[in-house]
């Protein structure tokens, strides 16, 4: 069993796939803390977790096929230590809601394939500085992991060179998660953190960085994690025709109450809590909620985000809470939420018109049915 050496996982994680391990954080736990604890942070693996002895760890840095340097763990720690707090969200977060509209292929994630953590490590721009790379000469920076498929092909992903060389993109080669060494499941000992970008490019167990004119040849860059028109099916899909997902679109979710939960009215209101996030560093500026299909909207007044984040670098999620008045005669309501980001991007109303065969970018309004107790 190639998975026999996988680490033990926290029992609260809801398992969506055992081998490779994929487990999500339950909604109510998510909105309990601004920083998601490492042991309850969702896990999305595509392959067995590699076993890496820190004494033997090496990171190769190449320009195309030409290895420029090989550095070890101590070398990475010598660069100035930089900390960035960012959410990581799987491209398939909330897929189960899209699947409910029309079946698709993918793990059935609820709202918990996301977490927010503080990551510390060396800035990618510092590590690449001595290579004197000219942004105009190259197109992509590829990352490869130490996790291998049965034929020896590593997990991989890439990002555009302009992003990789922009120090304001806050990309780091992280060795700490929430102030502790990164746990095995989350990329021990070194992981690429690419804030604001789909989870898939945040390559764990980082083995190699390649400056290239090509995107990563990995299946996960070229043959997956892309969006398509709702009319594209498995007979007509052409993965070469769609760009790889980079920045994630604006989304939000209700974490409590959970679907079907019974809630007691307090002064004629129900408490609702959740998260919102937009990719590309866009700040969340407003959360709108309705319990009457949009006839009246309520704005969440308590928003917790990273107060120190600079304009265009709002990598953390926003936790919000609201108290919504409920008509006295109501026994049941459907709570809807939508978030608005700094570019006034808003979530689409329904999943029908954003449906795609892989169930990615599932950011329609989140709707939760709640029973009311007087």
Helix (H) or strand (E) holding 73, with range, is helix 73-78
Q: Which helix (H) or strand (E) holds 76?
A: helix 73-78
Determine the residue with CB nearest Mo ion: 90
Write out the residues near Mo ion by the rule CB under 5 A. 44, 90, 199-200
What are residue 55's phi and psi, to 5 degrees? Answer: -70, -25
> How many angstroms separate the CA atoms of 297 and 51, rounded?
51
> By CB under 6 A, how many residues form the interface with ligand MTE?
20
Q: Which of 40, 45, 116, 212 binds ligand MTE (CB under 6 A)?
A: 45
Member of 13, 90, 254, 368 binding ligand MTE (CB under 6 A): 90
Contact by Cβ (8 Å): 244, 225:
yes
Q: Pick what 204 binds: Mo ion, ligand MTE, none; C-beta below 5 to 8 Å, kind-dependent.
A: ligand MTE
Minimum distance from CB of 43 to ligand MTE (Å)? Answer: 4
Among residues 6, 25, 30, 41, the one that binds ligand MTE under rule CB under 6 A? 41
Token duo for residue 149: 């498929």
Query: Could you say which of 147, 215, 288, 341 contacts ligand MTE (CB under 6 A)?
Result: 147
* Order of strands, sheet of 43-44, starting from the edge strand that comes earlier in the sequence: 14-17, 22-24, 43-44
Cis peptide before 20 (omega within 30 of 0): yes
In the list 42, 119, 317, 320, the residue contacting ligand MTE (rule: CB under 6 A) is 42
Closest CA to 138 of 109, 120, 164, 113: 164
By rule CB under 6 A, what string of x and - marks binding of each residue 126-145 to ligand MTE?
Answer: -------------------x
Footprint (CB under 6 A) of ligand MTE, residues 160-219: 185-186, 199-200, 202-205
Q: Please give the C-alpha separations between residue 102 and each of 230, 231, 358, 360, in angstroms, as whole numbers.
A: 10, 12, 11, 13
CA distance 105 to 8: 27
Contacting range for ligand MTE; rule: CB under 6 A; set: 40-48, 118-126, 340-348, 358-366 = 40-48
The nearer residue to Mo ion, 90 or 291, going by C-beta atoms, is 90
**Which residue's CB is nearer to Mo ion, number 36 or number 290?**
36
Q: Which residue has the tokens 């100035």?
A: 80
Q: Which of Mo ion, ligand MTE, none does residue 46 bind (CB under 5 to 8 Å by kind)?
A: ligand MTE
Find which of ligand MTE, Mo ion, none residue 41 binds, CB within 5 to 8 Å per kind: ligand MTE
Structure tokens at 205: 């167990």
Q: Which is nearer to Mo ion, 122 or 177 (CB)?
A: 177
- Rounded Cα gap, residues 91 and 44, in angstroms: 11
**Would you call 72 exposed, middle or buried from its count of C-beta atoms within 10 A (0-12, 13-18, 19+)?**
middle
Nearer to ligand MTE, 119 or 355 (CB): 119
Contact 339, 348 (CB under 8 A): no
- How near is the Cβ of 7 to ligand MTE at its closest, in Å? 11
**How far apart are CB 192 and ligand MTE at their closest, in Å?**
8
Q: Which does 24 bind (CB under 5 to 8 A by kind): Mo ion, ligand MTE, none?
A: none
CB nearer to Mo ion: give 90 or 124: 90
Please name which of 126, 199, 191, 200 lies closest in space to residue 164, comparing C-alpha atoms: 126
User: Does residue 155 bind ligand MTE (CB under 6 A)?
Assistant: yes
Residue 165, contacted partner among ligand MTE, Mo ion, none, CB below 5-8 A by kind: none
Q: Which is nearer to Mo ion, 203 or 287 (CB)?
A: 203
H or E element that contains 220: helix 219-222
Q: Does 49 bind ligand MTE (CB under 6 A)?
A: no
Q: Using CB under 6 A, which of the segments 29-37, 43-51, 102-110, 119-127 binds ligand MTE?
A: 43-51
List all residues 6 or more positions away from 224 whose beta carbon is below 8 Å from its beta carbon. Answer: 200, 239, 358
User: 212 forms bridges with which residues in the sheet?
Assistant: 140
- Helix, strand or coil, per DSSP, at residue 51: coil
List interacting residues with ligand MTE (CB under 6 A).
41-47, 88, 90, 145, 147, 155, 185-186, 199-200, 202-205
């Amino acid at each position: 069993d190639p998975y026999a050496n996988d680490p033990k996982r926290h029992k609260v994680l809801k398992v969506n796939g055992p081998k490779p391990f994929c487990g999500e954080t339950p909604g109510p736990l998510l909105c309990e803390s601004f920083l998601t604890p490492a042991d309850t942070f969702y896990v999305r693996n595509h392959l067995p977790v590699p076993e890496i002895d820190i004494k033997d760890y090496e990171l190769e840095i190449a320009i195309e096929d030409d290895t420029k340097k090989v550095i070890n763990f101590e070398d990475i720690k010598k660069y100035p230590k930089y900390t960035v707090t960012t959410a990581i969200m799987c491209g398939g977060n909330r897929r189960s809601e899209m699947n409910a509209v029309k079946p698709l292929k993918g793990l059935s994630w609820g709202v918990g394939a996301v977490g927010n953590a503080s990551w510390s490590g060396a800035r990618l721009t510092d590590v690449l500085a001595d290579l004197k790379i000219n942004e105009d000469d190259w197109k992509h920076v590829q990352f490869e992991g130490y996790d291998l498929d049965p034929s020896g092909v590593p997990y991989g992903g890439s990002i555009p060179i302009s992003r990789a060389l922009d120090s304001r993109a806050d990309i780091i080669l992280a060795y700490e998660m929430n102030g502790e060494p990164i746990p095995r499941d989350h990329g021990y000992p070194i992981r690429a953190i690419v804030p604001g970008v789909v989870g898939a490019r945040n390559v764990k167990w980082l083995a190699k960085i390649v400056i290239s004119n090509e995107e990563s040849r990995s299946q996960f860059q070229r043959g997956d994690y892309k969006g398509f028109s709702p009319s594209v099916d498995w007979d007509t899909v052409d993965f070469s025709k769609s760009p790889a997902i980079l920045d994630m679109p604006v989304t939000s979710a209700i974490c409590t109450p959970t679907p079907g939960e019974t809630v007691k009215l307090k002064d004629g209101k129900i408490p609702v809590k959740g998260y919102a996030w937009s990719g590309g560093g866009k700040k969340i500026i407003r959360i709108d909620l309705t319990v009457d299909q949009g006839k009246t909207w309520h704005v969440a007044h308590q928003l917790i985000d990273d107060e120190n984040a600079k304009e265009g670098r709002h990598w953390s999620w926003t936790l919000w809470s609201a108290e919504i008045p409920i008509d006295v005669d109501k026994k049941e309501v459907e709570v809807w939420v939508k978030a608005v980001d700094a570019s006034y991007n808003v979530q689409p109303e329904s999943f029908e018109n954003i449906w795609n065969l892989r169930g990615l970018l599932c950011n329609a309004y989140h709707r939760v049915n709640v029973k009311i107790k007087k």
